[in-house]
Amino acid sequence: MTTTTPIPNPATNFSREKPAPPARGGLAPQSRDKIDKAAQDFTAVALGELLSPLFETLKQDGGSFGGGQGEAAWRPMLVQEIAKSMALNGGLGITTLVTQAMLRLQENGS
């Protein structure tokens, strides 16, 4: 009987732990922190772009936020803050994938 190892699904990885460091070579902690921050920022922007159309469909006729020009001005900032919060708490697993890709690129000298 052959035993198979399940393939991890990054979309279900909601851990705040950082991915394991690269296997080869060393990476200064400052560089690793920069990579982690860049990956998290990328995730926040990507999530913001995904959430934006959802918020555009909400009525602006005085509902929950009062409507008008004030709501139109603040809505993009609200969407971006929601996206940042989602990215900080694991997002959709994008952060881990981006971090791993950036580490591979740095490891290969690209």
More confident call, 49 vs 68: 49
Q: Provide the token pair at 5.
A: 């190892």
First CA to last CA distance, the chain: 42
Q: Where are the domains of the chain?
A: 27-107
Report pLDDT for 55.
82
Report pLDDT for 64.
62
**Residue 17: pLDDT band with limits 50, 70, 90:** low
Q: What's the pLDDT tens digit per position in 57-70? A: 876 666 666 667 77
Do the beta carbons of residue 19 and residue 99 sit within 8 Å?
Answer: yes
Report, as an integer, the average pLDDT of 94-108. Answer: 89
Report pLDDT for 63.
62
More confident call, 15 vs 55: 55
- Tally DSSP H helices, then E strands, for the chain: 3, 0
Q: Nearest CA to 37 among 18, 15, 52, 21? A: 18
Do the beta carbons of residue 89 and residue 16 sit within 8 Å?
Answer: yes
Q: Nearest CA to 47 among 16, 73, 85, 19? A: 85
Q: Which region, left, alpha or beta, applies to residue 91 given φ > 0 means left and ψ of -120 to 50 means alpha?
A: left
